[in-house]
Homo-oligomer: A and B are copies of this chain.
Amino acid sequence: MNFTPAKFIVRALCTKQTPSNRFWFKIGDTASVSKAFSAADVQAFADLSGDTNPLHLDENYAKTTRYGRCIVHGVLVNGLISAVFGTKLPGRSVIFVSQNLKFTAPVFIGEKVTAKVEVTGMEKAMVTLSTTCTVPENQKVVATGSVKLYIPRPAADNTAS
């Protein structure tokens, strides 16, 4: 049986709660960005954040760990999620409220990562996106989670991420 009443009701409610001047997207919309972080990128982030953990910076040290080579900071990979929702979907007119994030596998330096967001909920002025980061080359899922964003009315172009 293909009829899924629960899903139907959720979609109907979301549509009902959506002021047309606030949400310019719908549940199910997706967007993504991709990037391969170089050793120079990782060093630059270590300099910016102060996270100089040698697993990210020192190949000799990384060889002694279970990973065998340097990995990208998880919080830098998370920057791709911010890039997607801050520049594509919904875009710059959002306020970053909260995030849940689970790291499921390491990202090695040089691996191309794709961060994808999908609109999963809209209620009043809030939108929820599911977030997934993968390495497309080998289908490795490296991070999953969700973000909540506040969407100001278009008249007040208030923005944050």
> Which residues of A are interface residues toward B (Cβ below 8 A)?
33, 35, 37, 41, 44-45, 48-56, 64-67, 71, 73-76, 78-83, 86-87, 92, 96-103, 106, 152, 156-161
Offer 6 A-B interface pairs, CB within 8 angstroms, sorted by A: A41-B48, A48-B79, A54-B159, A55-B161, A67-B160, A75-B82
Contact for A158 among B66, B80, B103, B160, CB less than 8 A: B66
Q: Contact partner of A79 among B75, B98, B157, CB < 8 A? A: B75
By the criterion CB–CB under 8 Å, are B82 and A79 in contact? no
Q: A55-B160, A98-B102 are in contact. Are A82 and B73 (CB under 8 A)?
A: yes
Report A37 CB to chain B, min CB distance, Å.
8
Given contacts A75-B78, A75-B79, A161-B74, contact A51 B86 (CB under 8 A): yes
Q: Which residues of chain B come closer than 8 Å to A106, judged between CB atoms?
A: 160
Closest Cβ of chain B to A131, distance in Å, is: 12
> Complex Cα distance A75/B51, Å?
13
